[in-house]
């Protein structure tokens, strides 16, 4: 018996990185999974195949989380195909790193459209379905330590992640009477394919040494945290922000005198 037997989960941005890790962990523990993706069809199909190897159902849906109509259609398809929705993980995000003084406004808008408004769409549509079902539910927002640390050249992403942290707390307060848990996970520096857009293998190797835990996090590290938050063990946890960063923030120090 798995912790999520009979449950249906939806994970945005599930074809790669953290989203992939979460989708596979939930399936390994019994959930059927809606695999949302944008632009990586082969990877999404691979995730679906691995879910099915666990004996679970997988529904693969390509949809841009910034496109509300596309997300609405995805949720309708998920319920029509899998029957219900018990778990939603708002993971999809994008980041275009530029200094504020040089930032292209279209890049700023795109980052916020996905990393902030896309999370709002996902959470609202999930909440509406869970309220209709009347049986509670679990929503997790994948935030970032960028919500807590003003990382240079990431203003739009920093803004978006700070915003969705507050969204999660607000939604948790509103949904508590429905016994729908809403929590936020703020990962630190995680070893994902997307990280290679900004750092070399050597940067990643050396960067891991500077983290108190001695390495970058993995998608599986974050998946374990999410699995706890959407399990019965976390039924009394809502509105919480859990930083999963291997001590990254604690390790920030002023230069030695």
Catalytic residues: 157
Q: Measured between alpha carbons, how far is residue 250 from residues 65, 145, 188, 245 in Å?
A: 32, 11, 11, 9
Strand partners, 8: 32
Give 117's DSSP letter. I
**What is the rounded CA–CA span in Å between residue 32 and residue 51?**
8
User: What is the rounded CA–CA span in Å between residue 246 and residue 2?
Assistant: 27
Token pair 């930032």: residue: 103
Distance of CA 59 to the CA centre of its chain: 18
Gap between the Cα atoms of 231 and 227, Å rounded: 6
User: What φ, ψ does residue 152 adopt, rounded to 5°?
Assistant: -60, 150
SS3 17: helix
**Pairwise CA distance, residues 48 & 27, whole Å:** 10
Q: Is the dihedral of CA 53, 84, 128, 184 positive or negative?
A: negative
**What is the rounded CA–CA span in Å between residue 100 and residue 6?**
47
């Amino acid at each position: 018996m798995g912790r999520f037997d009979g449950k249906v989960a939806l994970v945005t941005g599930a074809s790669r990185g953290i989203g992939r890790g979460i989708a596979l962990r939930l399936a390994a523990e019994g959930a059927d999974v809606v695999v949302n993706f944008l632009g990586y069809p082969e990877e999404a199909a691979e995730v679906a195949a691995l879910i099915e190897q666990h004996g679970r159902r997988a529904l693969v849906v390509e949809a841009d989380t910034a496109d509300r109509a596309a997300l609405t259609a995805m949720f309708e398809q998920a319920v029509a195909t899998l029957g219900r929705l018990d778990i939603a993980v708002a993971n999809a995000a994008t980041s275009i790193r530029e200094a504020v003084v040089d930032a292209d406004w279209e890049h700023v808008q795109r980052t916020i459209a996905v990393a902030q408004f896309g999370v709002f769409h996902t959470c609202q549509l999930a909440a509406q379905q869970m309220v209709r079902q009347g049986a509670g539910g679990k929503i997790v927002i994948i935030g970032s330590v960028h919500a807590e640390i003003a990382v240079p050249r990431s203003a739009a992403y920093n803004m978006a992640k700070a915003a969705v942290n507050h969204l999660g707390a607000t939604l948790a307060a509103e949904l508590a009477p429905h016994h729908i848990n809403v929590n936020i996970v703020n990962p630190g520096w995680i070893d994902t394919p997307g990280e290679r857009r900004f750092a070399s293998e050597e940067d990643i190797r050396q960067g891991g040494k500077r983290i108190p835990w001695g390495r970058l996090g993995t998608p599986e590290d974050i998946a374990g945290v999410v699995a706890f938050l959407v399990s019965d063990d976390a039924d009394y946890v809502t509105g919480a922000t859990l930083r999963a960063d291997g001590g990254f923030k604690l390790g920030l120090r002023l230069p030695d005198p």
